[in-house]
Chain A
Amino acid sequence: KQMTVRDALNSALDDELARDDRVFILGEEVAQYDGAYKVSRGLWKKYGDKRVIDTPITEMGFAGIAVGAAMAGLRPVCEFMTWNFSMQAIDHIINSAAKTFYMSAGAVNVPIVFRGPNGAASGVAAQHSQCFAAWYAHCPGLKVISPYDSEDARGLLKAAIRDPDPVVFLENELVYGTAFPVDDKVADKDFVVPIGKAKIMRPGKDITLVAHSKAVETSLLAAAELAKKGIEAEVINLRSIRPLDTATIFASVRKTHHLVTVENGWPQHGVGAEICARIMEDQTFFELDAPVWRCAGVDVPMPYAKTLEAHALPRVQDLVDAVLKVLGGKAGKAVAANK
């Protein structure tokens, strides 16, 4: 059975709107236009003006209104047309949503989901191509989720809406239309994926690739490429950026003794950097046979032209090269053994 990421998100919203009448969606073009990326298609017709609310183009205002409604006990799903525009509203995500539960000593919780497409799209240049995983994962009080495939998207969005804390939900526009095979259980209306747990997408024994969102795809392709050379790479889909499932990463490293992190965001203080630091602070550090290597977006604002853009993000060959470098002599032996 196949399901696109868009349908996965749409059905998750539909389920949760039906399940809990405190849940409502607001954002730009979410209702009558059916969503700028059609994620909320059909929901306005089904649930009406009260539950699916079109806002003016006024990010700071509607993000604040959504947080206020959450403080007062509703469960808003606040859509940013893309996460790039969330910077207009970042004060409400961090100062109003993330910190209130702590500041109020647990008196006021903020059950809200901020969602929308994140990361590089195609040919939209620097202001519209940026990954916010590291930005938001920096802040205590937030939960940050970055799904990859349809199972992730559906299960995690449902878990996020049911969660009593503010959740930042980072989707990727480039995979909205991609159909992934899914189990029957994924379509179940009570299917949820736990927040804070990573998923091993492909087991392997030689090296671990840790990625999130679209970089999981790059990693899987690289793993397939490496398999041809006789190298078995284990691919971990992080799913949650905060909390970070270090247990799964550490267990994998104890098995493979090699690690490459993969992300489409910028490298400095990024998700990969955090994983490196966590390993160094843990006994797992002594399990490593080689330094951890990061593959990340090139440290420049995203360019517009097609070739430049393609080279600004980690590609399959970059990953293969990085893996071979990290494995060093061991990789040579594996290739030789395969021949």
Chain B
Amino acid sequence: CSCLTLENTFKCYDLENGPTMDVELSRDDALAMYTQMLEVRRFETLAGNYYKERKIRGFCHLYNGQEAVAVGMKQRLRSCDSVITAYRCHAWTYLMGVSMHEIMGELLGVRSGCSRGKGGSMHMYSDRFYGGNGIVGAQVPLGAGIALAHRYRKDNGVAVVLYGDGAANQGQVFESYNMAKLWCLPCIFVCENNHYGMGTHVRRASAMSEFYMRGQYIPGLWVDGNQVLAVRSATQFAVDHALNHGPIVLEMSTYRYVGHSMSDPGTSYRSRDEVQAAREKSDPITSFRSQIIALCLADEEELKALEDKTKKQVDSICKKASTDKEVELHELHTDIYSKNVDGKIRNVSGFNLEHIKLAEVCFGKPRRTPACEINDVPVGAAIDVAKAKERKAEQEAKKAKEDAKGKGKGEPKGADSKPPKGEDGDKKKSSATETPAAKTPPPTKKPPAPKK
């Protein structure tokens, strides 16, 4: 473990004390974070290449240059905390537990995709990760709602809500600030300020560009978002603050090297020199690399080997994903409702598509809709089916009883010698006939406790 002191990394707003400036860094943590940043950078580079080869379609927003924010924050989030972010979500999806294979699969629209080719670049989900969101700013109230759920359940979790400097001007961001403060929600608002909302520089979009002060009545913290250790320290501080005092706004100052999305070369509104200067002066990966070496946590050779290994690994994973088969056509009409009560789904012409439910069988990682929630009330045809089953079970039970009685009368001696056998048979029969009805419990039954 090594110790170092952070410099010029924080500015406080309405806070008595900021995060600790003296931080410890273990060799394991250092290498873990360094590897993650390398993986994310390499992944995004490959995604960009696939896009140029037209293997990836539509929108594709890359994270190059902003890696320290996601990697640093994830280091200090606990397993009970939730995250929701905007459309630039590949890095967060990976850090929240989806494999690179599944993410690349989703970008390529193949079977292994984590959203089965239904989401694409902006819509990927995982356990306690509520996605990218394609609507600028819409994830902010959603995240406040997730924070409300944490407080409602008293599960000690916090919700991390990330948005860009462009989204920071959306009205719903301020609506969310207001309610988060009123209700003291354990919510960390994180403005990832990469200085451009699409092609508009912050100075042309925001009357006040100190985003950490924009919560007005919510304390804020400016963080050098290119320094992974500063991000990590700020996150620890924010989690403690959110749990004890309610919401906080973090502004992570960072820079994106690539265009807004793949269709933006990123050169008309800023100079190549500006991008080059950012790469040279404040790249999160190279600056962390020199820190690791300065602290003698690893040597040049070791890091070089790590870089080569990571690059090879990411390359082979992505290459593998690119050979996966396309999503099958029938998945077009899967999982529109978690409980479909409509008959058929309308095709281009005519109602002839069956609603298919893949959620329970297709993949295990994201939170499945628990079966108990889907079946707790029989609705529509299910009511008739449940009733018919109940009736049938009753009739059969009755019949079985009568049969047993008849037997008892017909063979008094036999009944005398083995009465328990007849009863056993009865029980078995009735319980066997009752099971199917029990699968769709009648409305009188209380639903099982939520498994979340």
Given the interface pairs A19-B446, A105-B362, A190-B443, the reply to whether A73 lies near B452 with Cβ below 8 Å is yes
A106 touching B334 in the complex, CB below 8 Å, given contacts A64-B176, A164-B374, A243-B343: yes
The answer on a CB contact under 8 Å between A95 and B358 is: no
Contacts of B351 in A (CB 8 A): 281
Give every chain B residue within 8 A of A69 (Cβ-Cβ): 145-146, 148-149, 152
Secondary structure dominating the interface of B: loop
B359 within 8 A of A: yes
Q: Does A68 contact B (CB under 8 A)?
A: yes
Closest partner residue, chain A, to B142 (CB atom)? A68
Q: Are B145 and A67 in contact (CB under 8 A)?
A: yes
Residues of B within 8 A of A143 (CB): 337, 341
| Known interface pairs A24-B152, A243-B343; A103-B135 also in contact (CB < 8 Å) | no
Chain B, 392-428, contact with A by CB distance < 8 Å: what is the 0/1 string? Answer: 0000000000000000000000000000000000000
Q: Give the residues in chain A near B134, CB-CB below 8 Å.
A: 95
From B118-126, B247-255, B290-298, B303-311, give the one contacting chain A.
B118-126
Q: How far is the CA of A163 from the CA of B337 in the complex (A)?
A: 10
A268 near B: Cβ within 8 Å? no
Task: Say how far A28's CB is from chain B's closest CB, in angstroms.
Answer: 12
Evaluate contact between B152 and A192: CB separation under 8 angstroms. Answer: no
A-side contacts of B268, CB under 8 Å: none
Contact A65–B176 (Cβ < 8 Å): yes
Are A64 and B369 in touch, CB under 8 angstroms?
Answer: no
A60, B171: Cβ atoms closer than 8 Å: yes
List the B side residues contacting A65 at CB < 8 Å: 141-142, 144-145, 148, 176, 179
B178 interfacial by beta-carbon distance below 8 Å: yes
Segment touching A, from B17-25, B224-232, B258-266, B377-385: B377-385
Number of interface residues of A (CB under 8 A): 58
Question: Given the complex, which residues of B lie within 8 Å of A50, measured CB to CB?
Answer: 152
User: In the complex, which residues of chain A have a beta carbon less than 8 angstroms from the beta carbon of B336?
Assistant: 101-102, 140-141
A190 touches B373 (CB 8 A): no
Q: Is A194 an interface residue (CB 8 A)?
A: yes
A162 pairs with B452, CB closer than 8 A: no
Residue A234 at the B interface, CB < 8 A? no
Distance from A141 Cβ to chain B, minimum over Cβ atoms (Å): 6
Given A68-B145, A162-B377, are A61 and B84 also a contact pair (CB < 8 Å)? Answer: no
Contacts beyond the supplied A58-B178, A195-B380: 5 A-B pairs with Cβ under 8 Å = A61-B141, A72-B82, A106-B338, A106-B369, A108-B367
Q: B residues bordering A, Cβ < 8 Å?
A: 82, 84, 114-116, 118-119, 123, 125-126, 130-131, 133-135, 138, 140-150, 152-153, 171-172, 175-176, 178-179, 182-183, 334-339, 341-343, 345, 350-351, 357-360, 362-363, 365-369, 373-374, 376-380, 383, 442-444, 446-447, 450, 452
